[in-house]
């Protein structure tokens, strides 16, 4: 990996009491025991995903890049993740094949099809509707001799 693509590492905040760590993990749907769990191999796929997401957000980053974060998550966890993404103060780049999930938490969606990028957003949809309405009015005006 190129050095300019690697984020610097920061020490964990050791000044936080264990209760703060436990509450932070609870926000991700993890029990308090995960604050001192030393064997990650014993965790389920969903628990590992939650733990990685919690670790990624621990230092309050400005940008999250998430590749298929919905893998191994149950329905409740998907809802919690969507809420966390909507409430996140920074930017989020989310790579996912789960369009049902992305439609609940993404303002803008980019589709890559046949080597081309198609941007879909609530704003773009409203803009297209307004353009279509304006074009219909222009066509209607011409048809009436105006």
Taking only the tens place, the pLDDT of each residue in 20-71 is 778 778 877 777 777 675 677 777 888 888 888 888 888 889 999 999 999 8
Contact 108, 121 (CB under 8 A): yes
Note the pLDDT of residue 119. Answer: 84
Q: Yes or no: say if 63 and 93 are a contact pair by the CB < 8 Å rule.
A: yes
Cα-based angle 29, 42, 94 (whole degrees, multiple of 5)? 50
CA distance 37 to 58: 17
| β-strands 116-121, 108-113 pairing | antiparallel
Q: Give the CA angle between residues 128, 132, 134 to the nearest 5°.
A: 115
* Contact of 59 with 32, CB cutoff 8 Å: no
Q: What percentage of the chain's residues is helix, strand, coil (to nearest 5)?
A: 50, 15, 35
Residue 40: which residues within 8 A CB-CB, separation 6 or more?
48, 51
Does residue 57 contact residue 49 with C-beta atoms inside 8 Å? no
For the chain, the structural domain boundaries read: 107-146
For residue range 102-124, list pLDDT tens digits in order: 888 888 888 888 999 888 876 66
Is the pLDDT confidence value at 17 over 60? Answer: yes
């Amino acid at each position: 990996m190129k050095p300019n693509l690697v984020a610097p590492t920061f020490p964990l905040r050791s000044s936080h009491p264990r209760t703060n760590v436990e509450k932070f993990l609870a926000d991700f749907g993890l029990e308090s025991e995960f604050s001192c769990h030393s064997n990650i191999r014993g965790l389920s796929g969903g628990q590992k995903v939650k733990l990685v997401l919690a670790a990624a957000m621990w230092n309050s980053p400005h940008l999250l890049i998430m590749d298929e974060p919905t893998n191994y998550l149950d329905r409740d966890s998907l809802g919690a993740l969507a809420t966390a993404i909507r409430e996140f103060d920074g930017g989020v780049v989310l790579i996912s094949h789960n369009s049902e999930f992305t439609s609940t938490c993404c303002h803008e969606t980019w589709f890559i099809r046949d080597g081309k990028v198609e941007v879909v957003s609530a704003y773009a949809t409203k803009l297209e509707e307004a353009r279509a309405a304006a074009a219909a009015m222009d066509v209607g005006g011409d048809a009436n001799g105006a």
